Amino acid sequence: MTTSASIRERIPFIMRDLAARYLPAGDLHQGETALAKIVAEREDPFLVLISTILSQRTRDEMTERASRQLFAKYDTPRALADADPGDLERLIKPVGFYRQKAVQIQKVSRVLLDRYGGDVPATYDELIALPQVGPKTANCVLVYGFGEPRIPTDTHVHRVSNRLGLVRTKTPAATEKRLMRTVSKEYWLHINELFIRFGKDLCRPIGPQCPRCSFTDFCRFYPRTKWGKLVSKTARRAQVHRSRRPSRTHD
């Protein structure tokens, strides 16, 4: 499958397979990413915003640990804005660049208080104007904080989308734009959760678990794996064997 039509036909199959594997209840509240767990416990866009900032260049398990420690003490814009910076650093130390992030989350909390009365804005343009909020963070807040269909695109979503042939892009930003043109909006809300889970579980950057995957027939990456090479080698041998068979003659 190489045409855009075939890609669009492939997407429902991919989404159904991943939803059955990772979200059997069909609900983001059942997700396993740090953001999904926060949503399941407390549906608060502010907590989603702060957790997403903490998650930048950080493993999911560290984001979850730092978020839990932070929100146990500071879980509102006012509390964070007035917090002791040293205490913030201590609480979020599990994440990478925790000193810089302590400054960032305090700054964004103050901006929310000054501009929006402590509320998190619910539009992409307003979110993107906040300190330390880029496209991925804004889209995460819209998806996990407000339930608005968007496609947050991190390295997992970027890698999986390219491997499965949904896009041919060089950057997550380009992947997001292409996916939004190609994927039906009905699937946007779940792409981030499902592709991240798939990217960590099976479609890993190193050591992918291809024998457990349902998409090897059209995966662009599979032919380069040891399993794909073995399949190709076996097919070539079978073809050579067939070509060497003597043809039958009839009297």
Backbone angles phi, psi at 73, to 5 degrees: -115, -40
Catalytically annotated residue among 27, 82, 136, 185 = 136
Judge whether 229 counts as a catalytic residue.
no
Tell me what pLDDT residue 54 has. Answer: 94
Catalytically annotated residue among 154, 177, 201, 233 = 154
pLDDT, tens only, 75-123: 999 999 999 999 999 999 999 999 999 999 999 999 999 999 999 999 9
Q: pTM for this one? A: 0.84
For residues 212 and 234, give the distance between their C-alpha atoms in angstroms, rounded to a whole number.
Answer: 20
3 pLDDT tier (thresholds 50, 70, 90): very low
For residues 69 and 29, give the distance between their C-alpha atoms in angstroms, rounded to a whole number.
Answer: 21
pLDDT, tens only, 197-212: 999 999 999 999 999 9
On the question of pLDDT at 243 being above 70, the answer is no
For residues 7 and 162, give the distance between their C-alpha atoms in angstroms, rounded to a whole number.
Answer: 12
Judge whether 60 counts as a catalytic residue.
no
233 pLDDT tier (thresholds 50, 70, 90): confident
Percent of the chain scoring above 70 in pLDDT: 88
On the question of pLDDT at 221 being above 60, the answer is yes
For residues 30 and 39, give the distance between their C-alpha atoms in angstroms, rounded to a whole number.
Answer: 9
Which amino acid is residue 142, in one-letter code?
L
The topology under which CATH files domain 34-146 is Endonuclease III; domain 1 (1.10.340)
